[in-house]
Structures are given as C-alpha cells and as structure tokens.
Structure 1
Amino acid sequence: MRTVLALLMVGVGFLSANAEVQTKQVTYHDGDLVLEGLVVWDPATASKTSPGVLVVHQWMGQTAYEHRRCKQLAELGYVAFALDIYGKGNRPADRQEAAKLSSTFKSNAELYRRRLNLGLEQLLAQPGVDTKQIAAIGYCFGGKGVLELARSGADVDGVVSFHGALDSPQPEDGKNIKAKVLICHGADDPFVPEADIDAMKKEFNDANVDWQMIYYSGAVHSFTQPMAGNDNSQGAAYNAKADHRSWIAMKSFFAELFESDK
C-alpha cells in the first residue's frame, strides 16, 4: 500500500512539474543577421490552439523583463513570443547606447516594421497558436513598435502600447491599420508631447481606427518597469498602481478582442 501511495505521489509530482510554463529559444534571420526570440507556453493548453501574443521589447532589447511578461501571458492561457529587434547578443550597455540604437529604428520605419513582422511570422509559426487570434504588446520603444506593426498593415486583432512614443510621422499609414488599439499612458510622461498625441489621434480618427487610450495619474514614462526606479523627477519611474491597472486593462481588452473572433 505504501508503495502504491509513493508511486501515486511521484506521479502527481511529475504531472505538476510538467504543468509548469515552458520556454524555448527560437533563432530566425533578417538576411544575414541572426535574431533570437523566446516562445513561452503552458503545456496544459497544448492539446488545443490558443491566442498568440507578440511581445516587443523596450529600448534595452529583449531581457528578463520581457521573459517575465511572456510567462504571465502564458499563465493566462496565451502563447507568447518575445521578438528580437536588435539581433542576437546585440544589447545596449547603457541608456546612451540604447538611445542611439533605438533611434536607428525610430527613424527608419521600413526597417523597424520589417523586424516587427519577422517576429510576428515566428509567433504564427509556433505550435498551438490560433493564427486567427493574434495580438501584440510593447513597452516604451516596443510601445511605439506595436503601433508601427499595426501601421504596416499586419493582420493582427489588436495591439497594446504601454508608455510608448505616440508620434505620427507618416499619418497616411493610419489607413493600413486593421487592429484595434489600446494605449496605456502615464499622465505625467514628459517624453510624449501633447502635440504628438493630438497628431496620433487625428491619424487614427481620419482612418476610422478603433482605438482607446487610458491615462494614469501620477505616472511618468516606463511606469510598468521596476528597473526604472521610483523617482518621477527623472521622467521615467515605476508606478505599481499604474502597472497593475494597465495589466488589468490589457486583460479586459484581450477578453473582448478574442471573444469577438469566435
């Protein structure tokens, strides 16, 4: 009897271990440049297709932060893929390098959109992804990135921008947007001018984009990122309340988005 119980306990432990969220590195290319993404999923949903969520990194590149967000998404039942804009092993050493590297893409929409769409292709190719139910989220540099992905005409259901740049450098591209848009923005963000927000709103309205925008009081840039510190005077700082509320807003957006696809 004890042997049977012991075997049952081992079996339960084995199942529990295998029920944990799984990860896999994915290598892909843009010409000769090697890119490396990370796919994260929950094996408990492996027997059926699940919505896929693309995760676009902030200006320091793909880090443990994006991996944590992917894990959270997998725990919600999605297959998440953290793409790589910069290239395998190409990570800024500091904020100065990050500003320089990210500006390369901000000033070259064609290059930026190509890298974004290459990441989307990898998400769509992952086992267990329902290719009819796809969204993208991004932070800071990636917050602008998901808007650029939408402007490229990518066939995604929705995008969520967390404290991203909100300029409208090519307003005519608004007509390409097929996705619904959710923007989560710090009300005190000093890096996003009101003129940019007004231009973005005009672009979206002129193109009849289905968009919504939430302002979080007391929040500045990078409000979802603990590594930003807690000093609002720096212009970028973590805000636990805004982080929590924006994640809930994203979940509600996804519930509406994917339910409408059924």
Structure 2
Amino acid sequence: MRTITTRTVAYPADGLTMIGHLALPAGADRRPAVLLGPEGMGPSDVERRRADALAELGYVALAFDLHGGRYLDDPEEMLARCMPLLADPERMRDIGHAALDVLRAEPRTDPDRIAAVGYGTGGAVGLELGRDGADLRAIATINALTTGRPGEAARIRCPVWAGVGSQDPIMPPAQRDAFTAEMQAAGVDWRLVVYGGALHAFHHPTVDHAVRPGVGYHPRQARRAWRDVVDLLAECLPVTGEPVSP
C-alpha cells in the first residue's frame, strides 16, 4: 500500500459550510485528480475510503459534501433535501463548482486532468458539471442516469460512463433509455453498464432494504462497478510514473 495523506477541507456552497475529505498520494508532484460525489445521504466512511483508495492509485481525490457536514441517514430528511436539489440544475452546478474549485486549488492537483465520479445525487452533480461545460477528462455516474435541460448535454467535453442495477426501480429502463438518448443525440462518447440483479445503491455496503424499498447492497456487482470506474480513470486519466516519496 502506498503512503497517502488525508485532511478535511471546509468551503462554502449552497448557503452551507461544506466539509470535504481530501486524499493525497505520496510525493510532491502534481497528479491527476478525481472529484468524488456521494449518495444522497452525504459523504460517509464509504466515500472517504474510496477517496483514499484513489490516492493509493496515484490520484488526488476530494470526496465532496452535499449537506454542510451532515450525513442524512433518515430517508425522509434525505429526500426532503435531495429532491428539490435534483430538480434544480443550477444548485447542483454551484455545489459541484465549489468543490471543483477546492480540488483545482490544491497544489498537488494537475488542473488540466480532473475527472468526476459520483454516486446517486453526487453522480447527478457530476453530470451537471459536464452539461455546464466544465473541463473534465471523464465523468462516471452510478445510480444517477439523470437527464438535463434540452441541448445542454452537447456541452459535455469528455467520455461519460454510467452504471445501474438491472433491478433498480428508481432508475428503471425508461430512465435508462432517456439518458442514453440524450447522450447519443448530443454526440457524447458514452457507455452504460447494467449490473444484473442489482438494486439501487448496490455499491454502498451500509444500505439495505430497511432504508427504502428497491435499495440494497450487492457485493459482487459493487466490486465490478469499482473496477469499471478505475478502468475508466486509467483510460482517460492515466497516472504516469510512480509517486515520488517526499
């Protein structure tokens, strides 16, 4: 395991003080970077571990916040905040750009080599950054096949990879079709992977059916989805050379 360093970062967005988790690879040189978006509950140890794992691969990684440092484990409270957010592209973009600015300002970040990876609401934020023309090298979204305002997908400047569970009732086949039709019409370089037997939030170990019907963890497909994300980053945002020890 490569030595990494981590720290929390506070920054303003959406009228709140957001608390992000920044993970840095060994060395002092500039590295490609990943903006990591959480499920609707907000960042948890799951996202922080993913940011750490990306740093071990040589990326600067920022797991960004959605709710001002809070983790909304009450489903009703989470939906009450996330549903209006998901219906407001400008708010999502503001949250995404605020975190992206923090990541770009990190001295270890190569500002010309950044990708966005997001889950659920965090994935929707990444897509809205793309639709807003943000300079990203790749966008990966799981459980967030959200469509945007007419014509704005043409502003996406990078490949888009999307993953979804075959049994996800929140992102059913009709939603998949609408998303892929939007990407295709806009001329985006897109891919969609449907993971057989998986429900919504299948990638998140702490989720089960008690949270909401149609939501559940699928360990095997979660591992596959993570490998697919890492492969996308290796293709679009390769880490060249080994990290240099301080």
TM-score above 0.5, yes or no: yes
How far 1:104 sits from its partner (Å)? 2.1
Q: Which residue of 2 aligns with 1:118?
A: 98
Q: Indicate conservation of the 8 Å contact 1:230/1:239, yes or no.
A: no
By how many angstroms is 1:92 displaced?
A: 2.2
Q: Report if aligned partners of 1:54, 1:80 keep a CA contact under 8 Å in 2.
A: yes
Which residue pairs with 1:38 in the alignment? 21
- Residue 229 in 1 paired to residue 212 in 2? no
Aligned to 1:176: 155
Q: Kindly indicate which of the two structures has a greater share of residues assigned to helix.
A: 1
Contact 2:14 2:95 in 1 (8 A): no
Question: C-alpha distance in 1, partners of 2:230/2:6?
Answer: 22
- Separation in 1 of the partners of 2:86 and 2:47? 20
* TM-score, reference length from structure 1: 0.85
What is the CA distance between 1:258 and its match in structure 2?
2.0
Aligned to 1:5: none
Q: Distance in 2 between matches of 1:32 and 1:217?
A: 40
Q: 1:191 to 1:49 in 2, by over 3 A?
A: same
Match in the other structure for 2:176:
197
CA distance in 1, matches of 2:20, 2:236: 25
1:193-240 deviation digits (Å, cap 9, x = unpaired): 322222211211111001101111111111111111378x93111111
Asked if the contact 1:106–1:112 (Cα under 8 Å) also holds between the matched residues in 2, the reply is yes
Distance 1:103 1:238 in 2: 22
Aligned with 2:43: secondary structure?
coil
Partner residue of 1:211? 190
How many residue pairs get aligned? The number is 240
1:216 and 1:32 map into 2 onto residues whose CA distance is 37
Matching residue's letter, 2:36: V
Equivalent residues in 2 for 1:88-99, closer than 5 Å: 89-99=69-79
Provide Cα deviations, 1:15-67, integer angstroms capped at 9, x if missing partner.
Answer: x9xx632111111113753222121112x2x2321110001111111221211
Q: Are the counterparts in 1 of residues 14 and 94 from structure 2 also a CA contact under 8 Å?
A: no
Which amino acid counterpart does residue 6 of structure 2 have in structure 1? Answer: T
Greater Cα offset, 197-206 or 96-105: 197-206
In the TM superposition, what is the alpha-carbon distance from 1:146 to its structure 2 partner? 1.6
Q: Quick one: which amino acid aligns to residue 94 of structure 2?
A: R
Secondary structure of 2:136's counterpart equals: coil
The structure whose Rg is larger is 1
Match of 2:8 in 1: 25
Q: Which gives a bigger RCO, structure 1 or 2 (Cα 8 Å, sep 6+)? A: 2
Report the TM-score when normalising by structure 2: 0.90
Deviates more, 1:210-219 or 1:59-68: 59-68
Query: Which residue in the other structure is 1:131 paired with?
Result: 111
Amino acid at match of 1:236: V
Alpha-carbon distance in 1 for matches of 2:3, 2:235: 27
Which amino acid in structure 2 is aligned with residue 34 of structure 1? T
After the TM superposition, which of the residue ranges 105-114 and 22-31 deviates more from structure 2?
22-31
Amino acid in structure 1 at the alignment position of 2:184 = N
Q: CA RMSD in A?
A: 2.3
Unaligned segments of structure 2, at least 5 residues:
241-246
The one-letter code sitting in structure 2 at the alignment partner of 1:69 is R
Does the residue aligned with 1:85 lie in a helix, a strand or coil?
A: coil
- Which residue in 1 is equivalent to 2:224? 245
Which residue does 1:3 correspond to in 2?
none
1:49 and 2:9 matched: no
Name the SS of the counterpart of 2:118 in structure 1: strand
